[in-house]
Amino acid sequence: MPAVELSRLARQTEELADLLDAPADFRRACLDLLEGYADHTRRRGVWHPDEDVPWVLGVPRTVLRAVANALAREVEGRSESALGAAGALWESGLREAQSLAAALVQTVPGEAAADWAQARVENARDERAIEALAGPALMGWRRQEPAAFLGRLDRWLTSDAPRRRALGFRAIEAALEDPGFEPTPRAFDLLGGRSLESPGEEGRAMMAAWRAAIARSPAEAAQTLLEEAAAGGEPARRLISRNLEAFPERQRARLQRALLEAPPPGIISPQE
């Protein structure tokens, strides 16, 4: 893997930008660039060092960030170019190429970004790919139109397709971890009343969403769980038990009382 020379990388990225309206050529050039910065000694993941799979090149974060930022600037206001180039990159199946695809989709206004993510989630290679679809790809749209974003999440979470439900939970996680997204009570309400014991991929996505909710607003997360538990939700009680230590002392005490007393619906104390 060559040392990252930023001036050279900038020239390479400019050459990529000239190909944005020719998706096949753009993908070929982009993959050549990524391969040139790949770690051929380890082939390990950029974000998760325990990954050792053939679709992760091990491209340095510095390179990905510089290329993503430059390409996103180039396609600002050019939704058709952004979606075409992003689609070509995503089809490569490579983690880093899909990361760049998500950065391009960030620039797309309206629900077109959500449509793009939804169309690809069923064939996403793994959970990291779902995270890219749910988080970076939707960042621009969720900040611009939070109500529409939450409405789409509601539809995903009530879908019959497990992958769409996983996409919805990962999108909640990303939104609550995004300092540029101002959550409303509805963001927390979306987590209430859902299946709290989903298996596998969906279950891990749901737990990640709850952890993000607890970190963003312990009081609102606790209130939602208390309401679920008081309504007779045994899964909610188990979720409380697993996450007690993540709450500050004040909310933890309330949740512990709920576990001990199991109060009936209608007597939950006001949110603290």
Confidence of residue 51 (pLDDT cuts 50, 70, 90): low
pLDDT of residue 183: 84
Band the pLDDT of 46: cuts 50, 70, 90: very low
pLDDT of residue 49: 46
Residue type, 241: S
Contact 228, 221 (CB under 8 A): no
| Residue 42 CB partners (closer than 8 Å, separation 6+) | 52, 58
d(CA 30, CA 59): 12
Check whether 237 has a pLDDT greater than 90. no
What ranges do the domains of the chain cover?
1-108
- Mean pLDDT, the chain, integer: 87
**pLDDT higher for 52 or 147?**
147
Tens digit of pLDDT for each residue in 176-209?
Answer: 999 999 888 889 989 887 756 677 899 999 999 9
